[in-house]
Structure 1
Amino acid sequence: MKTIIVLFSGSGTNLQNIINTYQNKYHIQTITNNKNANGIKICEEHNIKCAVIDEKSFENRLSYNKKLVEYLKPLEKNLIVLAGYMRIIPKFLLDEISTPIINLHPSLLPRHKGLQAIEKSFEDEYEDAGVTVHYVNSELDAGEIIVQLSFNKKDYTDFSNFKNKVKSLDYNIMPMAINKVLL
């Protein structure tokens, strides 16, 4: 059985979607950098192993990332998924871990890399917006695009509705990307 490792930092809504879609097809393990992340409860509810490597317990991000590599290296893994993992993956981790890593980003890359992508998409001059899943490389949000989903912005003039539309695409796109990478 193939293994997916999901890294997350917060609420775990995308993690929940991955569990719902793949728990009976793939072995799922998780890692969080936030000891207070709601996703930990989701893992407990589904009897899924969750490693808590609390970033705040390290003196700096480099020490944290070294521990993350130390934890990841021996694990059997076919895919690493960043699902609401709010940290940049450093180059040395990519060099140490040969497993494909994919990331969900809430814009149509290459537009709006980095933080506040939803806000930037809402305010830009383009007629469309959407979400992207891409391979992680050493440049921020610049890896090869696996899949994108888009929608016409004209029906979403209220930011709250726009944000909800973007979030709703998250749940459709991640299974599409995982299937494309693992099949």
Structure 2
Amino acid sequence: MKRIVVLISGTGSNMLAIQEACKQGRVAGQVVAVIANKASAKGLEKAAAQGIDTEVLSHQAFDSREAYDAELKVLIDSYQPDLVVLAGFMRILTGDLTRHFEGRMLNIHPSLLPKYKGVNTHQRALDAGDKEHGVSVHFVTEELDGGPVILQAKVPVFDGDTADDLQARVHEQEHRIYPLVVNWFCQGRLALQGGRAVLDGQVLGESGYANE
């Protein structure tokens, strides 16, 4: 069973989706710790209720991003993870941290990357008049939201939709595809090779589909 450390900043809904999949045997791994950068993160209580170790490492206690990430790296490593999962962890990570965990750190981003890196993705999709929106799971690299895409899920954009409507629709897909990708990694089927996401020996394209 692979050891998984999950990083959160908020409600931890994706963390819970992964934890539930682990309990049901749909992920060949175990969430061994949940780390938050805010003591107010509601996901901490949910993780503790599942019997998962929780940690708070507040970024406000550090003078620089580099100092925070150095301590975060030590804390994550103390749990000897096979995989680090970012699940709504609202921090821009330094190159030192991303390089240390390269190939074993995943993120989920609420857009069809490479569209709409960064924040406010749902409103940006509405403002652009997009007819479809979605979510991407990708390997974490030094480039913000720029690592190789592993899998995407699309949702329709309807006339009259608000950002909250889109967020709810996207969340449903997040909870479906994130545990799936985590399981691929835990099974040894998924890897980062030469800067590309590779599943079952096939290089995945930009949208998370195998290239011919």
The corresponding residue for 2:9 is 9
Mean Cα deviation higher: 131-140 or 56-65: 56-65
Identity of aligned residues (%): 30
Which residue does the alignment assign to 2:83?
79
1:75 deviation in Å? 3.0
Q: Distance in 2 between matches of 1:98 and 1:161?
A: 34
The residue that corresponds to 1:105 in the other structure is 109
Q: Secondary structure at the match of 1:147?
A: strand
* 1:94 and 2:98 are equivalent in the alignment: yes
CA contact 1:77–1:99 (8 Å) conserved in 2: no
Which amino acid in 1 is paired with 2:14?
Answer: N
Q: What 5-or-longer segments of structure 2 have no aligned partner?
A: 188-212
Matches within 5 A, 1:24-173: 25=25, 26-28=29-31, 29-98=33-102, 100-154=104-158, 157-173=161-177
The 1:78/1:126 distance shift into structure 2, 3 A limit, reads: same
Structure 1 unaligned regions, length at least 5: none
TM-score, structure 1 as length reference: 0.91
Q: Residues of 2 paired with 1:83 and 1:36: CA distance?
A: 16
62-71 vs 159-168, which moves further = 159-168
CA shift for structure 1 position 159: 3.4
Contact 2:103 2:139 in 1 (8 A): no
Q: Cα RMSD between the aligned structures?
A: 1.7
Instruction: For 1:46 and 1:99, locate their aligned partners in 2 and report how far apart those are by CA, in whole Å.
Output: 27
Per-residue deviation, 1:156: 6.1
Count of paired positions: 183
Task: Report the TM-score when normalising by structure 2.
Answer: 0.80
User: CA deviation digits over 1:131-182, x for unaligned, max 9?
Assistant: 0000000101110101000022136634332221112211112112112222
Moved more, 173-182 or 127-136: 173-182
- In the TM superposition, residue 19 of structure 1 has moved relative to its aligned partner by 1.4
